[in-house]
Structure 1
Amino acid sequence: MLKSLLAASILVAVTGCATASQSSSNEQETQYQASEKAVNLAHEYLLVDTHIDVPYRIRDKWDDVSVATKDGDFDYPRAVEGGLDAPFMSIYIPASYEESGGSVQLAHELIDGMEALVARAPDKFAMAYSTDDIRANKEKGLMSIALGMENGTPIEGDLDNLHMFYERGIRYITLAHSLSNHISDSSYDIRRQWDGLSPFGKKLVKEMNKVGVMVDVSHISDDAFYQAVEISEVPVIASHSSLRKYTPGFERNMSDDMLKALAENEGVIQINFGSSFLAEQANRYRDMMKKRISAVKEQYGADSEEAKRRIADIEANNPYPFATLETVLDHIDHVKALIGVEHIGVGSDYDGVGDSLPVGLKDVSDYPNLVQGLLDRGYSEKEIQMILGENLMRVWKAVEDYAEGH
């Protein structure tokens, strides 16, 4: 999840071109039409998305996602249309809370919000704390609400907090977010105070194994990733990451060597749908636009009419380069070719990447388009079933089994 770090700043920087680029995106959207078979498979197979940012979205601006909503990427009717069975709702803690304090309180508030959602609509949702819960809820026709904590700041250096949040339903923890914290260095942070994981972070990974909380390696630095997979006795997940092959120099994504280490660990990468995670042009767009606009302001004066005219021209002629469904499929193809289909899953980052989602996968109603794309590229129904949820369930079950024995 990029939050205001990337997605929002892209949109702020290019407000003038948003309408034009979105119009183009809408025109392209019409080319995607899932077949009846793809729709049926999306509904038949267990569909788990490990990263959806509803909790923080509705904290910022409350919305009842148990019914159709005007805003956002997720609501119950659209999720049912898409075949979604088990969204992992992100208990997102901004990196600033590492210094400001208050992260434990925020985490509890966001968890409370998800429990309240289930309480308001018990005919639609049910909390899910285990792999068995996920499968039982599907049998009952209920959408599971599972919980993952994005940013381990609320652990606050105390393993008792890990146990407390496990009891509250947290089933994975992203060790850091956009800045390094007391657990791990961040891929976004030029400071590498720990050269990977902190001494406490290494203890935390071992304790997460024992408690039954999946270790999420999204967001952390390369060194931290390698240390985490070495230390962990069970498979890890990258809950919402994509591939550095298609975004050179973007450490937030995973390199081929990291994918190979993930495979040795028997883990899974849950592909992120944000355009800046998927395509080099989109990934570099913000910096490119910022440089061009800054140069104009410097040459003509920030508030001059000439600068405003030239900036408007730049924005109009450089719409945001949305990725497409095909780009997502390229990432999936590469993982399959490199380490095998058993290591691929879905971690969309819906409600977390602003208006940067790819053409063909704009919200939770669009999962059948992904299934159609996989069918078109020759994936078997068994492989599609694995990607949609069974690979993640394999990892989660391995974590549960290890914890039960310790």
Structure 2
Amino acid sequence: MDFSLKKLLSFIVIASIVAACTVSEKEQPWSIEGKSDDELMAIADSLAKEFIIVDGHVDLPYRMNVKGFMITKTVEDVSVETTGNFDYPKAKKGGLDAPFMSIYVPSRYQETGGAKDFADSLIDMVSRLPEVFPGKFAMANTPADIKVNFEQGLISLPMGMENGAPIEDDINNVKYFFDRGIRYITLTHSKDNQISDSSYDTAYTWNGISPFGEQVIAEMNKWGIMVDISHVTDSAAFDALKLTKAPVIASHSSCRKFTPGFERNMPDTLIKAMAKNGGVIHINFGSTFLSKESQDKFDKMREDLTNYRAENGLASDDSTYTAYVKQYAIDNDVYEDVQKVADHIDHVVNLVGIDYVALGSDYDGVGDSLPKGLKDVSTYPNLIFELLKRGYTPAEIEKICYKNTFRVWERVQEVAQELQGN
């Protein structure tokens, strides 16, 4: 048989399977009974293309900054395959439509100054992508923008600011960054700042949210910026939930049930409180966010690799060392897998329901710690496949992919209109 005819027949078979399996729940119950893994994978790939996929946190801007944007004012060519976790071909393959571009501002700028200028430089860089690569990327400030871009086959680039330090001590900067396209602000990052305590810090400067932070949250509510409680302490997160008039998000956090003692992840009490608030937790894909076992393995790996370099007099970029690192990670099975990400989704769903969980990979932000099966943005179908195998319906997966995030975002917009009207 001619190859093209084989390909056509294969496409027809897959299309018929998908058509039969993506009928709405009102028309027929969803079941995986009798479907092979190949059939489920075909369905997963189809759903990844059919549904909008929003990722709450992708660190492409800082990655591009490291490659020299501040000096050259040119953006990395992400319209072609790169060595990073995100680029246009990978995103199209995986069905990613709206990665929130993380405007990540390192905590050192809180000491040196220049946080606002640095944030502006990253926003400028993201804004350049649709100009440099027209027909591939587009900016997006609302869910409606993303829907329009999706229909046109464009990848949307909504922006969230990781660390509220660029607000500095001027409350007017909240509106300034809204006007620049920022649609969520992670209140702090790795150190306590002028707004909130950080889960990675031990100073507990404010024992939660600062007095200025209270003003910042009120101003974010007023202008329609989502309050992001990733990176904050538990006390700060609960403070934020008491203060906000709109639902909050965790843009890239996972469940502490699987990582006892790791405050960067969310405990069940906080997940329940967030659900009561109407918010949504976006699950982080990093292996060390997914299990205590992986955390322990990575700790041991760092210790062993430090000793290996010292014993052999090797630099971190030495080819002998990098080859050793790669083999060490394989031999010691340090990475979690896609199933563990699904475990975190299961946990949220079992705890509070399907409406409060979404995706927040932290691609290009967690280094070489991504789980097997989810190594870059081309791999979302692998997670959808796993969810299908566990009995999630297409309608439920659609909520995880984007509808839960859109619900929160749209409500934040509504609250802003109400507050501005007052």
TMscore range, shorter length: 0.7 to 0.9
- Cα distance in 1 for partners of 2:229, 2:298 equals 25
1:282 to 291, 294, 299: 294
Amino acid at match of 2:181: G
Partner residue in 1 for 2:352: 339
1:169 match = 181
Shift of 1:112: 0.6
Q: Does 1:357 align with 2:370?
A: yes
Aligned match of 1:136: 148
Give distance in 2, aligned partners of 1:82 and 1:238: 23
> Which has the larger displacement, 250-259 or 132-141?
132-141
CA–CA distance in structure 1, aligned partners of residues 221 and 329 of structure 2: 51
Q: What one-letter code is carried by the residue in structure 2 that aligns with 1:45?
A: F
CA distance in structure 2 between the aligned counterparts of 1:246 and 1:68, rounded to whole angstroms = 37
State the aligned residue count: 366
Shift of 1:331: 0.4
Q: Would you say the 8 A contact 1:34–1:368 is kept in 2?
A: no
* Deviation of the 1:319 alpha carbon: 2.8
- For 2:20, the equivalent position in structure 1 comes to none
Inter-partner Cα distance in structure 1 for 2:354 and 2:295: 26
Q: How does 1:7-406 map to 2 (within 5 A)?
A: 35-61=41-67, 64-289=76-301, 319=332, 321-406=334-419
| C-alpha deviation, 1:279, in angstroms | 1.4
Question: Residue 81 of structure 2 contacts residue 90 of structure 2 at CA under 8 Å; is this kept in 1?
Answer: no
Taking structure 1 as the reference length, what is the TM-score of the superposition?
Answer: 0.86
Aligned to 1:309: none
Deviations 1:330-368 (A, max 9, x none): 000010000001001000000001111000111000011
Mapped to 2, the partners of 1:34 and 1:151 lie a distance apart of 40
**Maintained 8 Å contact 1:32/1:360:** no
Aligned equivalents of 1:49, 1:32: Cα separation in 2: 26
Q: Identity rate of aligned residues, in percent?
A: 50
CA 292–401 in structure 1, closer or farther in 2 if over 3 Å, else same? same
Mean Cα deviation higher: 223-232 or 131-140? 131-140
SS in 2 for 1:177: coil
Tell me the amino acid that sits aligned with residue 368 of structure 1: P
Q: 1:353 to 1:290 in 2, by over 3 A?
A: closer
SS at match of 1:202: helix
Q: Is the 8 A contact 1:65 1:76 kept in 2?
A: no
Bigger mean CA offset, 362-371 vs 133-142: 133-142
> Could you tell me how far apart the structure 1 residues matched to 2:345 and 2:38 are?
18
Q: Which has the higher contact order (CA 8 A, sep 6+)?
A: 1
Q: Distance in 1 between matches of 2:417 and 2:149?
A: 22
Normalised by the length of structure 2, the TM-score is: 0.82
Question: Whole-Å Cα distance in 1 between the matches of residues 311 and 261 of structure 2?
Answer: 34
Cα distance in 1 for residues equivalent to 2:53 and 2:328: 38
Deviation, 1:34, is 6.5
What residue identity is the alignment partner of 2:58?
A: I
Deviations 1:58-86 (A, max 9, x none): 11015634422331100001101111111
Distance 2:384 2:330 in 1: 34
CA distance in 1, matches of 2:415, 2:65: 35
RMSD (Å), alpha carbons: 2.3
1:180-217 deviations in Å (ceiling 9; x for gaps): 11110000001101001111011111110011000000
Verify the 8 A CA contact 1:66 1:124 in the aligned structure 2: no
Amino acid at match of 2:175: H
Closer/same/farther in 2, CA of residues 335 and 100 from structure 1, 3 Å limit = same
CA contact (8 A) 1:32 1:369 kept: no
AA partner of residue 48 (structure 2): A
Tell me by how many angstroms 1:286 deviates. Answer: 3.8
The Cα offsets for residues 94-152 of structure 1, whole Å up to 9 and x where unpaired, read as 01111111111111110111111110112111100111111111112211110000000
Question: SS of 1:240's equivalent?
Answer: coil
Q: Gaps (5+ residues) in structure 1?
A: 1-30, 306-311
SS in 2 for 1:195: coil
CA change 1:135–1:267 in 2 (3 A) is same
How far does the alpha carbon of each residue in 1:230-267 deviate from its partner, in whole angstroms, 9 at most, with x for none? 11111100000001110111000000111111111110
What's the CA shift for 1:318? 6.4
Letter in 2 for 1:396: W
- Seen in structure 2, the aligned counterparts of structure 1 residues 375 and 286 have a Cα distance that, compared at 3 Å, is closer
Tell me, what secondary structure is at the counterpart of 1:405? helix
CA distance in 2, matches of 1:290, 1:137: 43
